[in-house]
Amino acid sequence: MTRQTSGNGQIYQSVVDTVGNTPVIRINRLGPKNVNLFVKFEAFNPAGSVKDRLAMNIIEAAEASGALKPGQTVVEATSGNTGIGLAMVCAAKGYPLVITMAESFSIERRRLMRFLGAKVVLTPKEQKGTGMYNKAKELAEANGWFLASQFETSANADIHENTTGREIMADFAGTKLDYFVTGYGTGGTVSGVARVLRRESPGTKIILTEPANAALVQSGTAQERTENGGPAGTHPAFEPHPIQGWTPDFIPLVLQEALDNGYYHDLIPVPGPEGIAASKDLAQKEGIFTGISGGSTFAVALKVAADAPEGANILCMLPDTGERYLSTPLFDGIDADMDEEELALMRATPGYHLG
């Protein structure tokens, strides 16, 4: 029978109202057969990532408190998804936006933000996350702009408590959730979702992951902070890693809540190449097109699945869409030209050959 759809039963008043309520989807072909693997696919957000949630709440919390005035410029340091989310929200609500970003992040992220009307100021890659962070602060202070402060603001974990966590509880009503697997960038996802799971689903084990070559949490070394909770410098365990959006060169204050309260049951670092391979597998064997952090989280979910008891239900966060990574190692080996097999197919019938 032909499938039918029935609409959302409402007309959305703004694109911002479409943030959240992303689907949880069963994985059917990857992983062991004796457990149930699910992904929460954040690419369904209007600007394509989990950070749309945070962007919406940073702006709306600041509107409510009066910290952000009508027409005031918003400024933020971001490796991409927060900038794209903020650009979407600021465009919809009429705020100018300036993003600071290390030059090492993917070209398409810069162009996406500029397409959405933001200004993007690049900072030297040698100065890493701290460089772009300090530049945003400097610009905010010099111009009287509103600094979004994704790494410190309570608006970050709060929105994951009120939306992501609530959605998971609703979608798993009647299904026991045994494991929740996530990485961290700011830590907003893990801190906010963990508040809900600890309170309402204490049997769910929270598995945190980070890049194997930048295992800041696993190192056990505390982050030095300034008076507002921001980083006082680069964490000694940091090394550049390919998992964009994960683990900046410091332990964010928003993540510190999860560490201080023991919100996670296990920490399983993952090498970037494993994450890239898992992202390709998700695309090619499940039709689920997510970025490097989604693949990395899924690679860890597969490790959890291998040791999980019979019938366990495992939920894995997929933070964004893979379309954001065309110029990155995720697409290495994915050529624009025909490979041998494709050339052979072309030659196999008489017509329509390329010269």
Contact set with ligand PMP (CB under 6 A): 49-51, 81, 183-189, 244-246, 291, 293, 319-320
Rounded to an integer, what distance in angstroms lies between the CA atom of residue 254 and that of residue 41?
Answer: 22
Q: Which of 49, 79, 106, 293 is catalytic?
A: 293
Residue closer to ligand PMP, measured from CB, 31 or 187: 187
Q: Which of 40, 51, 128, 137 is catalytic?
A: 51
Q: Provide, rounded to whole angstroms, the least separation between the CB of residue 287 and ligand PMP.
A: 20
Q: Provide, rounded to whole angstroms, the least separation between the CB of residue 319 and ligand PMP.
A: 3
Rounded to an integer, what distance in angstroms lies between the CA atom of residue 15 and that of residue 91?
Answer: 10
Residue type present at position 343: L
Q: Provide, rounded to whole angstroms, the least separation between the CB of residue 101 and ligand PMP.
A: 12
Give residues with Cβ within 8 angstroms of 154, minimum separation 6. Answer: none
Q: Provide, rounded to whole angstroms, the least separation between the CB of residue 11 and ligand PMP.
A: 30
Rounded to an integer, what distance in angstroms lies between the CA atom of residue 320 and that of residue 324?
Answer: 8
Angle subtended at Cα 285 by Cα 44 and Cα 84, rounded to the nearest 5 degrees: 25
Closest CA to 58 of 170, 136, 111: 136
Residue closer to ligand PMP, measured from CB, 151 or 312: 151
CB 290 within 8 A of CB 322: yes
Rounded to an integer, what distance in angstroms lies between the CA atom of residue 132 and that of residue 153?
Answer: 17
Q: Provide, rounded to whole angstroms, the least separation between the CB of residue 291 and ligand PMP.
A: 5
- Known active-site residue 51: yes
| DSSP bridge pairs for 87 | none
DSSP state of 37: E
Residue closer to ligand PMP, measured from CB, 140 or 243: 243
Q: Provide, rounded to whole angstroms, the least separation between the CB of residue 13 and ligand PMP.
A: 26
Residue closer to ligand PMP, measured from CB, 230 or 319: 319
What DSSP element (H or E) covers 101? strand 97-102
Dihedral (CA of 134, 247, 189, 56) sign: positive
Residue closer to ligand PMP, measured from CB, 31 or 319: 319
Burial of 141 (0-12, 13-18, 19+ CB in 10 A): exposed
Rounded to an integer, what distance in angstroms lies between the CA atom of residue 110 and that of residue 85?
Answer: 12
Q: Where are the beta strands (DSSP E) in 173-298?
A: 179-182, 205-208, 266-267
Residue closer to ligand PMP, measured from CB, 73 or 182: 182
Residues annotated as catalytic (active site), given as ranges: 51, 293
